[in-house]
Amino acid sequence: MAEVVGVFASSHAPMMTAARDAAPRHQADAFLGALDEASATLVDRGAQAVVICSNEHFTNFFLDNFPQTCVGVGERHLGPVERWLKIDRGWVPGAPELGSHIARHIIEHGHEPSFSHELRLDHGVMTIYNAIDSTMQLPLVPIIQNCAVKPMASLRRCYEFGRALRLAVEAFDGLDAVGIVGAGGLSHYVGEPRVGDIDVEFDRWFLDQIASGDLEEVFSLSDEELEQAGNGAHEVRSWLTIAGVAEPVTATVSAYEPIGPWITGMAVAQFS
Amino acid sequence: MSAYALQKWVYDSLHAGQSETADVIELDDYDLDESERRAVEDNDLRGLYQLGVHPILFNAHARSLGFSRNDYRELLRDLKDAPTEVPRWRK
């Protein structure tokens, strides 16, 4: 059965690759250094595939059919869709057996994700995947989560999904070692009058909850309260998914930088 | 009226822009009312926001038209929502 060899959550922002130099150097170095360290941990432990849980940005889905969660079971995935991301566009190898197993196992254990054989990958996945493997050889199962269009899965449900995800991966006998990563948040505004604002208080509070391992306060947030940290704050659903993967939650926050030019509170946490 | 058709136009336009082989987007194929059509034809970003285009679509569309985030922040400045409550992390 597969062993989960690395679990971490990271913020993402398209500017982290498209406009790295726009950020103050010490901030970019702190965040990206922590991301590189988390990525290396996963690779050094022999991950043969990686599952990345990230957010839908209308890259794959429109309002005619918008899944809460979609598991990418394709043999390969094209990304990034953004030609300005400064990541070479190419075909990322999929892990179809792992992805199909995850979809099937999770359905058998109380969740109903959709699946796709043809997911396109945007900055949400590619900025983090590129940090893990810039050569684009590590097989990837992308899991795309609805963090933008109401109604959205509850924060608690995302944590529960993460728990089920870990069980699914550990029940897979086609690989020995798999990494599981969450990508999104933290506070930011997109397409809103407050674009550019970062809620440092929220970010620090959220990271304190993650580090404490007690997430009941987070689970009790309504959508309306959460989005006072920005409509992009809904992406913490990916972090909570990873917390569920790691249960019991023991996390070390290795970086937090509110990076104005990237319009996002940027953080990395490794889970043991 | 729902902004579905308007958002569909934005979504299809963005995806056509990303693809080298996509079909041409014809505005007449979308069931837009007069104000929506005018906002599209006039590249009226503020109007598109007020008509209810989803913020993620709005951001991508604005950027595709060459507007920076600072540009539309300024354009929408007076449309900020007033906070309805003090969130728990500020109490």
Q: Residues B61-82: pLDDT tens digits?
A: 999 999 999 999 999 999 988 8
Output the pLDDT for position A234.
98
**Whether pLDDT at B56 is above 70:** yes
> Is A191–B84 a contact, with Cβ atoms under 8 angstroms apart?
no
The percent of residues in chain B predicted with pLDDT above 90, rounded, is 76
In one letter, which amino acid is A100? S
Instruction: Say if B83 is an interface residue toward chain A (CB within 8 Å).
Output: yes
**Whether pLDDT at B18 is above 80:** no
**Whether pLDDT at B43 is above 70:** yes
CA distance A83 to A254: 30
**Whether pLDDT at B24 is above 80:** no
DSSP assignment letter at A132: H
Output the pLDDT for position A101.
98
* Residues of chain B with C-beta less than 8 angstroms from the C-beta of A63: 4, 7-8
Output the pLDDT for position B80.
86
Bridge partners for A133 per DSSP: none
Output the pLDDT for position A10.
98
Q: In the sheet where A140-145 sits, what is the strand order?
A: A114-116, A69-72, A140-145, A49-55, A177-183, A3-10, A264-271, A251-259
Q: How confident is the model at residue B23 (pLDDT cuts 50, 70, 90)?
A: low
**Whether pLDDT at B50 is above 80:** yes
The percent of residues in chain A predicted with pLDDT above 70, rounded, is 100
Cβ neighbours around A156 below 10 Å, total: 15
Bridge partners for A258 per DSSP: A265
**Whether pLDDT at B2 is above 80:** no
Q: How confident is the model at residue B1 (pLDDT cuts 50, 70, 90)?
A: low
DSSP assignment letter at A121: -
Report chain B's mean pLDDT, rounded to a whole number: 91
Average pLDDT over residues A121-130: 98
**Whether pLDDT at B20 is above 90:** no
Burial label, A137 (beta-carbon count in 10 A; 0-12, 13-18, 19+): exposed
| Residue ranges in B19-68 assigned as alpha helix (H) | 34-41, 45-50, 55-64
Characterize A27-65 residue by residue with b for buried, 16 or more Cβ atoms within 10 angstroms of its Cβ, and e for exposed. bbebbbebbeebbebbeeeebbbbbbbbbbbbbbbbeee
Q: Using CA of residue A155, residue A157, residue A158, residue A160, what is the dihedral sign? A: positive
> Is A63–B77 a contact, with Cβ atoms under 8 angstroms apart?
no
The percent of residues in chain B predicted with pLDDT above 70, rounded, is 92
Output the pLDDT for position A194.
96
> Is B70–A196 a contact, with Cβ atoms under 8 angstroms apart?
yes
State the best of A15, A190, A227, A263 to mutate against chain B, taking most chain B CBs within 10 Å: A190
Residue the block writes with tokens 């999904």: A161
* Residues of chain B with C-beta less than 8 angstroms from the C-beta of A83: 18
Confirm if A242 and A9 have CB atoms less than 8 A apart: yes
CA neighbor of A187 nearest in space, from A215, A207, A172: A207
From A118-127, A197-206, A219-228, B80-89, the region with the lowest mean pLDDT: B80-89
**Whether pLDDT at B22 is above 70:** no
CA distance A117 to A119: 6
Average pLDDT over residues B42-63: 96
* Residues of chain A with C-beta less than 8 angstroms from the C-beta of B17: none
CA neighbor of A119 nearest in space, from A80, A85, A72, A87: A72
Structure ipTM: 0.94
Chain A nearest-CA distance from B61, in A, is 9
Chain B nearest-CA distance from A196, in A, is 8
Structure confidence by residue, pLDDT tens digits, A40-92: 999 999 999 999 999 999 999 999 999 999 999 999 999 999 999 999 999 99
Nearest CB to B89; choose among A195, A201, A263: A201
Nearby residues of A249 by Cβ (< 8 Å), 6 or more positions away: A210, A213, A214, A215, A243, A271
Structure confidence by residue, pLDDT tens digits, A204-252: 999 999 999 999 999 999 999 999 999 999 999 999 999 999 999 889 9
A47: phi then psi, degrees, rounded to nearest 5: -55, 130
Q: How confident is the model at residue B25 (pLDDT cuts 50, 70, 90)?
A: confident
The percent of residues in chain A predicted with pLDDT above 90, rounded, is 99
Residues of chain A that touch chain B, judged by Cβ-Cβ distance less than 8 Å: 57-58, 62-64, 81, 83, 148-149, 189-196, 199, 201-202, 204-206, 217, 221, 224-225, 228-229, 231, 263
**Whether pLDDT at A201 is above 80:** yes
